[in-house]
Amino acid sequence: MAGGHDHDAQSRALVFALVCNGVFLVVEIAAGLAFGSLALLADGAHMVSDVAALSIALVAQRLATRPATSSHTYGLQRAEVLGAQANALLLFAASGWIVYEAIRRLDRGAEIAGGGVLLVASLGFVVNVVSAVVLERSGSDSLNIRGAVLHMSLDAAGSVAAIVAGIAIIVADASWVDPAASLFIVALVLVGAWRLLRDATHVLMEAAPKHLDASDIERFIASDPVVEGVHHVHVWNLASNTPALSAHVIIAGERTLHEAQVEGDRIRADVLERFGIAHTTFELECHACEQ
C-alpha cells in the first residue's frame, strides 16, 4: 500500500507542477512579446523544457503501470525516451533563435519595459520554487521526481537572471542586460538539452546504465558457491530508470532442471537486492557452451 500511496502522491505533485508551469509558460511568453524582453522569452524557452520534463515524468509513471502486450512485450516504457529526444532537439532550435536575436539586440538595442520584466520574472521565480518544494515533499527517492526538481531549480536560476535584467533596466536604463541575461539562460537551456539528448540516446543504444557496471555484476554472480562460470552478460535500460540483465550462468554439479531453476531464482533475488535489477533473464547451463 505504501508504494501505491507514494506513486499517487508523486503523480499529484507532477500534475500540480505541470499545471502551474504550463499556465505561467503562456503568461511569460506573452509578457516577453508585450514588453520586448528577450530574457523573458529565453526563460520561457527554458520553461518549455520544464513542462516537457514534467510531462515526460508524468507519462512515464502512467505508461510504466500498463501491462505488456503481444506487440509491445516490454510495454510502452520507452515512449518517455523518444519524447525526451524530440524535446531536446526542439530546445536546440529555440536556443539558436534566441542567440541570434540576443546578438542582434546587443548591437542595435531595443525598447524594454523593465517593470513588466521584473514583475513577471518574480512571479516565475515563485512558481519554480513552490513547484520544487511540492515535488521534493512527494518523495525524493524517485528518479523522475529528482529530475523534475532539478529542472525547477535551473528555471528558478533563469528567473533570477531575468529579475536582474529588469532591475538593471529600471535603475540604470541598461537595456543591454536583457539580451545578456538571455544568453546566460540559453547556456542553462543548452546544458539541460544536451544532457537530455545524451541520456535518451544512451538508452536507445542499449548502453549499460551509468550506475551499473557489467563486470561488477558478472563477478557478483560468479562468486556464488553454486556458479562455475558466467558469460554473455548484457545490461541495458528498458526505459530511463528500468535496468535489465541477461546472462548465461553455469551451475556446478549434476542437478535436475528443477534444482537448477531454484538456484537461478535465488541468484536473481540476490541480483535484485544488490543491484536493483528486476528484469533478469538467466540461461542456466550445466557446462560451458561453445563460443
| CATH number for the domain harbouring residue 157 | 1.20.1510.10
**Does the residue 291 lie in any domain?**
no
* Rounded-to-integer distance, Cα 98 and Cα 185, Å: 10
User: What tens digit of pLDDT does each residue of 237-280 get?
Assistant: 887 778 899 999 999 988 888 999 999 999 999 999 999 998 99
Closest CA to 270 of 211, 231, 222, 230: 222
The domain boundary residue, chosen from 176, 204, 232: 204
Residue 87 domain flag: yes
**34 and 106: one domain?**
yes
Cell 554473455 belongs to residue? 232
What tens digit of pLDDT does each residue of 51-67 get?
A: 877 787 777 667 766 77
Q: Which of the two residues, 79 and 281, has the higher pLDDT score?
A: 281
Distance separating alpha carbons of residues 40 and 36, to the nearest angstrom: 9
Q: What is the pLDDT of residue 64?
A: 63
Domain that holds residue 48: 2-204
The reply to whether 176 and 267 lie within a common domain is: no
Question: What count of other Cβ atoms lies within 10 Å of the Cβ of residue 106?
Answer: 17
* pLDDT tens digits, 202-240: 888 888 988 899 999 999 999 999 999 999 999 998 877
Q: What value does the mean pLDDT of the chain take?
A: 81
* 169-198 mean pLDDT: 81
How many domains in the chain?
2
Of the candidates 248, 249, 245, the residue with the CA atom closest to the CA atom of residue 228: 249
Q: What is the pLDDT of residues 106-151, one digit of tens each?
A: 776 666 777 887 888 888 889 888 988 888 887 545 555 666 776 7
Per-residue pLDDT, 271:
96
Please check whether residues 149 and 280 belong to one and the same domain. Answer: no
Query: Among 179, 204, 229, which residue terminates a domain?
Result: 204
Q: Residue 209 falls within a domain, yes or no?
A: no
